[in-house]
Amino acid sequence: MSLFRNAVLSIFALSLWGCAVDGKHLYVEGKCVSCWQDTFKKDKSDYEIIGANNYDIISWQELALEGLSREDNLNVATYGEDYLTYKLGSNSDHSLTIHGYTKRNELTYRRDVKKATEQLESDLHKHQLKPIYQITMPSTLDNYDFDRQEFPVDYTTGVTLEGGKDIKLLPKEISVIFDNYQDFPELKMPPHTAENFLKGRNQKRKLFIRYIFEINAMTTQSSFQSTVKEIQFIDVVPKKYYQTRKEIEKYAPFEAIQL
């Protein structure tokens, strides 16, 4: 049997199995052929595939619902107006004016607040924190360290999610703190690879980092603690939501590191 055919069969076998032995992954041009094509066959809440890009993106709404779900003697109607405001979206002027609510159609506004309250109640009933979330943030690389053979990475220690400046009772912003940010890895590569890496980027040191993390605790309604499980380095500006199967290779990381 030819060497080429052996290689093809090996890759095919690995793709059927879904992952290589002892957590090792077979990379072809920076992509793990034993993982990428299987990502969307997995449950979105099932964290086990390095480099996966199908986890729910963390949102202000998700954490606002979590905060309300922990509130004693919750009166949902209290937050109906805020929920409507969030759904409408913020603007430079007052959102209720921008979206057509004036004194002339106060009844319409009250009707929509009632609908928003009912939606909030429904969303709270269905709400449950996911085991794993993802968020993608812009970053930069510092100058290459020849002694350590790595690019120091400009990481964030957490993210701030905005609900809108016109919100009155719910937190306008909710912070998610990464409690293990000191363990985040640098981007390692030998000098010749680093040189080609920079040439391919036209000497730009910008990139995007996808953080795969779990929520550990709520310290206040506007602050949560989390632990990052995996760091993914990607080059493509991400879309807001997780990608379709057709786009999975485009948005796959060129390197993913589990912590």
- DSSP string of 187-202, one letter each residue: EE--HHHHHHHHHTTT
H/E stretch holding 162? strand 158-162
Q: How many CA atoms lie within 13 A of 258 on its CB side?
A: 9
Decide: 54 and 42 in contact? Cβ < 8 Å: yes
The reported pTM is: 0.76
Maximal CA-CA distance, the chain: 81
Tell me the Ramachandran region of residue 22: left when phi exceeds 0, alpha when psi lies from -120 to 50, beta otherwise. left
Predicted pLDDT at 190: 94
User: DSSP of 125-143, one letter per residue?
Assistant: HH----S-EEEEEEEEB--
What is the mean pLDDT of the segment spanning 126-132?
93
pLDDT tens sequence across 182-217? 999 999 999 999 988 888 776 577 889 999 999 999
Q: What is the total residue count of the chain?
A: 259
Closest CA to 173 of 123, 218, 221: 221
pLDDT tens sequence across 83-112? 998 988 754 344 455 455 554 567 778 888
